[in-house]
Amino acid sequence: MDYQITKTLVEKKLLKEEMEVTATYTSPDFSGFGKVKTTGSFFIHGIQHTADNIVFVLRSTADGKFKKIFCEYVETIEGMPIDRFCACYNLNLSGENTSTKKKRGRRSKAVLQQMALEAQEKNNGR
């Protein structure tokens, strides 16, 4: 996850403690000498701001151990990919608001009344 979108989500309080995230981290392999990239599921325990990055203090859902992971290594939030999570709140991946799309379905009663008034005024003006 990019720093800018993470900063926006934290400022708008859309990314907070006790939310579940999936992140990639390194762990020792079976020999104990090398490191292997592993993906795990975590709960956010805390969010720390550094000079140029955001660090998550995460608690594992499997064994309860704590890890500190940079925001770039977070892959999903609440089971959704980052772009889909942002789309739910009308944000793009740069952290800016997007315009809402036209919704399908019935129009509200207020909108229908306004359209009827405009049509009457248009017909009266002929």
Residue 104 pLDDT greater than 80, yes or no: no
pTM for this entry: 0.71
The domain locations on the chain are: 3-124
Please name the CATH architecture into which domain 3-124 falls.
Answer: Roll (2.30)
Map tokens 């859902």 to a residue. 61
**Distance between CA atoms of residues 48 and 2, nearest Å:** 15
pLDDT tens figures, 50-69 = 888 999 999 999 999 999 99
Would you mind telling me the total number of residues written for the chain in this entry? 126
pLDDT for residue 116 is more than 70? yes
Does the CA dihedral 52-54-57-62 come out positive or negative? negative
Separation between Cα atoms, residue 67 and residue 54, nearest integer Å: 14
**Residue 47: strand pairing partners:** 56
Q: What's at 73, amino acid-wise? A: Y
Given a contact cutoff of 8 angstroms between Cβ atoms, the answer to whether 64 and 42 are in contact is no
Q: Are 50 and 10 in contact (CB under 8 A)?
A: no
